[in-house]
Chains A and B, each alone.
Chain A
């Protein structure tokens, strides 16, 4: 797994954890442990996305950096090997 894949895998697993915990919290809204773990994974995901975007550019257009240029289109295109 190259560096890019490693960072993306972190985003994927935290996204998954959050989604599954969301389903749990839908039926257990007052579960303190569930809510605490959700908050933990939210922070982890935020850091993982930040790390990925800093090194490999935006994952979605909302993360595009418009300070210096519109970099949304700069990364490898989805159909290119590097993007998968």
Chain B
């Protein structure tokens, strides 16, 4: 990677760290790398619901519906 590409990336990352992220993608997406969508602030559970569900963030709440039939617990 020529030097200037590296500098560009470092600079973009620097600016990214100054403001809260607004997109699911990081500011710099070099080819050939994997990305996890960046969590955005959104709805939040009340703390008692959060404790029950195991997360304060509905977007991260993936309950496991195991078992033969698919009735939801």
Contacts and interface: CB of A to CB of B under 8 A. Distances in A.
Interface of A: 9, 12-14, 16-17, 20-21, 24, 27-34, 37, 41, 44
Interface residues of B, number: 15
B41 A30 contact: no
21 contacts: A13-B48, A13-B51, A14-B47, A16-B47, A17-B50, A17-B56, A20-B50, A20-B56, A20-B57, A21-B56, A24-B56, A24-B57, A28-B20, A28-B21, A29-B17, A30-B20, A31-B20, A32-B20, A34-B41, A41-B47, A44-B47
Contacts, number: 41
Nearest to B18: A30
